[in-house]
Amino acid sequence: MNRKQFRELVDKQILVLDGATGTNLMDVGMPLGVCPEKWILEHPEKLINLQSKFIEAGSNIVYAPTFTCNRIKLEEYHLEDNTVQMNKDLVALSKEAIARNNYRGYVAGDMTMTGKQLYPIGDLKFETLVDVYKEQAAALIEAEVDLIVVETMMSLQETRAAVIAIREINEEIPVIVSLTYNEDGRTLFGTPPEVAVVTLQGLGVDAVGINCSTGPEEMTELVEKMKEYASVPVFAKPNAGMPELVDGKSVYLMKPEYFADCAKKLVYAGASIVGGCCGSNCKHIEKLKIAVRGMERPVINETHKRTLSSERKLLDIPLDGPFLVVGERINPTGKKKLQEELRAGNLDIVSEMAVAQDKNGAAVLDINMGINGIDEEEMMLKAIYEVISLTDLPLCIDSSYVNVVESALRIYPGRALINSVSLEEKKCRPLFKIAKKYGAMCILLPLSDAGLPETLEEKKENVRELVRIALEEGLTMNDLVVDGLVSTVGALKDAGLMTLETIRFCHDELGLPTICGLSNISFGLPERININSAFLTMAIANGLTMAIANPDQDQLVNAALSADLLLNKTDADNRYVMN
Ligand code: HCS
């Protein structure tokens, strides 16, 4: 099955997944503490029987029992060298179950966490994890699974590693991904479901969901949250409630009828695909199938929202929303002390700047490590790890080097903003391709190889051309922000007017948000803050969405808050009073 065929399947019916593998196999004799994959291979009929019953009950997709069949997990049983063969043999069992049931249904290769922590919490390197997942995914694909599911994920970053791994070896196989949430509605690592949706659909998954967790009742609200941001199908595979201890044994007591009622609510909330996780058996799936049969399918939005994310926080960027400041301070240009510290490999000032800008209301933090005499790529990664350990603000990756941008996006556990893509032959398409691969947003800078545009018309033409190429490379209008390109009014008298007209053009004619590096406007003039503040309010009135600025400057922040208030933007009065 390819991605298009998977989507056609979802568009035809509410898809039903299988129920639990692990708890049902324990009911038929799988002991605790053994390697489950090895036990299943030694007792193949137990698995085939279970999956046959799921298919009879109405499952359209069964999960191959390859859940923890990755090299790191298998090491615990000294079976790591059998990783590839075991995955293939396990998939063959699920395929046998499908074959014995008149070839009804599909097989998903199943992947999950490794149990080892990624750097900086643990010492597992991101690229090592990507390789571990590549090995398993390649084996599953060779065994001809119809799709791959990455499930029971608690870390968004580990999920990203799995998705990047699968997509790097195969662009066409459908990939569905579900995370597990605690009672507070967040994963163990603090990610809420809407952040998972935004980040993972950006990486090219075909459905995002939630599995295991606390039970089906609590999932309804989480599915609603996912649905608000999802441009791919949403799915839910809940436990049959929480296990209870009965006679020293942990059991799931939720009745199939009640479970099926809950599944119906999950479909109303927006789930296009439903199934069961721990504690759910064939009866649960049978009742669920009957309950959702004939239900109206949730509508799947075709476009995603204009949103950035960190690992734990989302930032919506509506066209006429509250004005946003992208904190500009983490940039060594013109900052001697910061340059010295970076050359000495010290990030103390970076940490202070991150914390201060967050406290002073920045919505995004720009990270630029561009000085000579250091390894910019290495420093960028260090700075990102440092900053994300201190703040939940989404990041703006600022570098003139394509490889630095790519390395940064690869390890950034969210949807970042790229600063910036200009109309340079050698860099423009590679940067858009990287943005598409990692699901980042881009700032379009209407400069070309010929340099600064001389006229307003030329500038507009550069914007149009950048948008055209971005769309051609698979990005959408909601992935783009235009830099109004601010020149200094001391050198060019109509510099301010030209930028204002560019902002208006992007806002009114293209429906695109804009950003500008504010302080350029006053370069070389006295009392720059006065000019910057006046220019900022005029720009906001013309539709400016955000500025790369210093949020520690009160006058600027107050000017922006006042402008929002005067323009009667939603909740601007409260924001003005609260500041
Ligand atoms: N597919 C696995 C998930 C456990 S959380 C199982 O056992 O059903």
ipTM of the complex: 0.99
Classify residue 297: in a domain, yes or no: no
Whether pLDDT at 215 is above 90: no
Classify residue 228: in a domain, yes or no: yes
Q: Do 278 and 376 belong together in one domain?
A: no
Classify 409 as helix, strand or coil: helix
Q: Do 273 and 386 belong together in one domain?
A: no
H/E run at residue 225: helix 216-229
Tokens at residue 155, please?
């870390």
Q: Which domain holds residue 230?
A: 3-292
Classify residue 223: in a domain, yes or no: yes
Q: Do 276 and 410 belong together in one domain?
A: no
CATH number of the domain to which 8 belongs:
3.20.20.330
Calpha distance 448→558 (Å, rounded): 35
Q: What is the mean pLDDT of residues 289-301?
A: 95
Q: How confident is the model at residue 249 (pLDDT cuts 50, 70, 90)?
A: confident
Q: Do 332 and 420 belong together in one domain?
A: yes
Q: How confident is the model at residue 248 (pLDDT cuts 50, 70, 90)?
A: confident
Calpha distance 323→245 (Å, rounded): 53
Average pLDDT over the chain, rounded to whole?
A: 96
Classify residue 299: in a domain, yes or no: no
Among candidate residues 292, 327, 347, the one where a domain is terminated: 292
Q: Is 54 in the pocket of ligand 1 (CB under 6 A)?
A: no
159 C-alpha to ligand 1 centroid (Å): 16
- Nearest CA owner, ligand 1 atom 1: 21
Look at residue 167 in the predicted model and tell me its pLDDT. 98
The closest-lying atom of ligand 1 relative to the alpha carbon of residue 151 is 3
Whether pLDDT at 265 is above 90: yes
Residue burial 26-37, b: 16+ Cβ < 10 Å; e: rest = beeebeeeebbb
Look at residue 113 in the predicted model and tell me its pLDDT. 97
What are the residues whose beta carbons fall under 8 Å from the beta carbon of 358, sequence distance 6 or more?
Answer: 327, 365, 390, 391, 393
The tally of domains found in the chain comes to 2
Rounded to the nearest angstrom, the gap between the alpha carbon of residue 9 and the centroid of all alpha carbons in its chain is 24
Classify residue 486: in a domain, yes or no: yes
Tokens at residue 421, please?
């893509």
Give the burial class of 433: count Cβ atoms within 10 A of its Cβ; 0-12 exposed, 13-18 middle, 19 or more buried: middle
CB 327 within 8 A of CB 350: no
Q: Is 21 in the pocket of ligand 1 (CB under 6 A)?
A: yes
Look at residue 303 in the predicted model and tell me its pLDDT. 87
Residue burial 358-384, b: 16+ Cβ < 10 Å; e: rest = bebbbbbbbbbbbbeebebbebbbbbb
The closest-lying atom of ligand 1 relative to the alpha carbon of residue 19 is 8
Each residue's pLDDT tens digit, 338-348: 999 999 999 99
CATH number of the domain to which 367 belongs:
3.20.20.20
Q: Do 350 and 266 belong together in one domain?
A: no
Q: Do 195 and 236 belong together in one domain?
A: yes
Calpha distance 181→483 (Å, rounded): 38
Among candidate residues 265, 292, 319, the one where a domain is terminated: 292
303 C-alpha to ligand 1 centroid (Å): 31
Q: How confident is the model at residue 214 (pLDDT cuts 50, 70, 90)?
A: confident
Q: Do 337 and 478 belong together in one domain?
A: yes
Classify residue 298: in a domain, yes or no: no
Q: Is 110 in the pocket of ligand 1 (CB under 6 A)?
A: yes
Classify residue 301: in a domain, yes or no: no
Q: Do 129 and 7 belong together in one domain?
A: yes
Each residue's pLDDT tens digit, 401-419: 999 999 999 999 999 999 9
List, in sequence order, every beta strand (DSSP E) within 171-269.
175-179, 207-212, 234-238, 244-246, 249-251
Q: Is 252 in the pocket of ligand 1 (CB under 6 A)?
A: no
Q: Do 468 and 330 belong together in one domain?
A: yes
Q: How confident is the model at residue 108 (pLDDT cuts 50, 70, 90)?
A: very high
281 C-alpha to ligand 1 centroid (Å): 12
Q: Do 253 and 332 belong together in one domain?
A: no
Each residue's pLDDT tens digit, 139-154: 999 999 999 999 999 9
- Nearest CA owner, ligand 1 atom 2: 21
Q: Do 316 and 287 belong together in one domain?
A: no
Q: How confident is the model at residue 511 (pLDDT cuts 50, 70, 90)?
A: very high
Q: Do 390 and 521 belong together in one domain?
A: yes
